[in-house]
Structure 1
């Protein structure tokens, strides 16, 4: 995995500690063709993938909040973890 991909993962888990709390796996993959990152979150059989433009990813790493991910990530956590047995700690 690239250094930037690792940094994206670290930043997202820093901003959203629920990811580690619920044991959600996160992966990143860069698309040269689209100049964007594919971020995938997985918990059991449930998967959510979202894209972030490379420039937005770099701003996120530099300390700006990853606002783009907010609704997507929290939506995944809410849908598959909050109040369900799927994400029992």
Structure 2
């Protein structure tokens, strides 16, 4: 699994999020062995971290519940942030 696959999977589940590398960034954090997902909108950025196993299960179309919950919370949080 690589960051492009995970990014595209997130976009498939949430097509309104945007484009990989612009509104959505995905990178693997070697220090904590988790995927960092950043959502950027209107100059605001929020991050969440996904367990490697949860991300792999979703990529393999086995179970996307954990990933879905994390991304939904991230999206809802950035939508509630005040405008600057």
The TM-score bracket by the shorter chain reads: 0.7 to 0.9
CA contact (8 A) 1:26 1:40 kept: yes
Relative to the length of structure 1, the TM-score reads: 0.70
**Pair 1:52–1:25, CA change in 2 (3 A):** same
| Structure 2 gaps, min length 5 | none
1:72 has 2:73 as partner: yes
Relative to the length of structure 2, the TM-score reads: 0.74
| Off by >6 Å, runs of 4+ in structure 1 | none
Aligned to 1:31: 29
How far apart, CA to CA, are the structure 2 residues paired with 1:70 and 1:41?
9
Task: Tell me the CA shift for residue 28 of structure 1.
Answer: 1.1
Bigger Rg, structure 1 or 2: 1
| Structure 1 gaps, min length 5 | 81-85
1:51 has 2:49 as partner: yes
**Pair 1:71–1:57, CA change in 2 (3 A):** same
- Root-mean-square deviation (Å): 2.4
CA contact (8 A) 1:50 1:72 kept: no
